[in-house]
Amino acid sequence: MSNVVSMGKNELAVIDPNIIESIVTKGDLSGLNQQQKVAYYNYRCQQIGLDPSAKPFDLLNLSGKQVLYANAGATQQLCAMHKLSTQITHRERVDDIYLVSCRVTGADGRVSENQGAVSVGSLKGDALANAILKATTKAIRRSVLAHCGLGMMDETEVETIPNAMKVNITDPTPLAPPPAPVKRDSGHAFYVPGSDDAYDHFESLEDWVDALLTMVDKVSDSKKLTVEDKIFKIGELERVNTKTVAVVRNENAGLYEVLSRGIGAARLALGQEQKK
């Protein structure tokens, strides 16, 4: 058991055996102090080859325990690192539930499938579009995590758990040089402002739209940017990705509507915030 947490000079190597048992058998990190949590965070990232400085996990208080869960950054890193492609295979509405099925295929040909579901009730307009997008995102992320053998929740599932609370954790710092990102060089290019080279490539337009809207959400939620800066950066994201936005519009009207509504909702919220 000591080999599992052996990290040289890191404090995690000398944790009380009872705390190690709590981590391994119960998945509970509440017995660790702040420094130990950061150390375990880094260790967990190193186990699966993720860059901890990109914050692929968050910490959650859930039913009296503290657990790690995967955020959007985790699934994006995993897709790039393992050259995973995703495909939405089915969509349907069952009563008040909207259900999306996703298939993940690895470079080795191995396939995994999973589903994402959200309650839509009597939702209409932007609210319905956002719910459909959330179901799609949930299906993709659950499928990627399952394909990579990570038995943990992702952030789209956390949002539906009553009384679940995020826990602040000191910014994780890499214990060793982070692995070089493996970027796909085919598919739909995704650009970020300030660079002439593609940030990443996505095999499906669904994944590309999810990546763009995830970036829009990150800009909108930033605590460091002014409202004006957020509006400008979202505009720049659209500008540098104009070609693929046109492809989405021409090839998939429904997906283009989801994209337009998602960006429009972010702009509307920022506009209202600007007027305050």
188: number of Cβ within 10 Å: 21
Chain segment 235-276, per-residue pLDDT in tens: 888 999 999 999 999 998 888 888 988 898 888 888 888 777
Helices 242-251 and 205-221, interaxial angle, to 10°?
130
Q: How confident is the model at residue 167 (pLDDT cuts 50, 70, 90)?
A: low
Chain segment 69-86, per-residue pLDDT in tens: 888 888 888 888 888 899
Chain segment 209-229, per-residue pLDDT in tens: 988 998 888 888 888 788 888
Chain segment 11-23, per-residue pLDDT in tens: 444 455 665 666 6
Closest CA to 218 of 201, 197, 233: 233
Chain segment 93-142, per-residue pLDDT in tens: 988 899 999 999 998 899 999 998 888 888 888 888 888 888 888 888 88
SS3 content of the chain, % helix, strand, coil (to 5): 50, 20, 30
CA atoms lying within 13 Å on the CB side of residue 126: 10
Tell which wins on pLDDT, 62 or 164. 62
pLDDT of 62: 72
Q: Which own/partner pairs from 16-23 qualify as long-range (CB within 8 Å, at least 24 positions apart)?
A: none
Cβ(36)–Cβ(168) below 8 Å: no
Domain range list for the chain: 2-71+162-167, 82-153, 188-275
d(CA 138, CA 117): 7
For 82-153, CATH number? 3.30.390.80
Mean pLDDT value of segment 140-158: 78
Alpha carbon separation from 165 to 34, 64, 86, 91, 218 (Å, rounded): 17, 11, 30, 31, 19
d(CA 246, CA 1): 54
pLDDT of 7: 39
Q: How confident is the model at residue 161 (pLDDT cuts 50, 70, 90)?
A: low
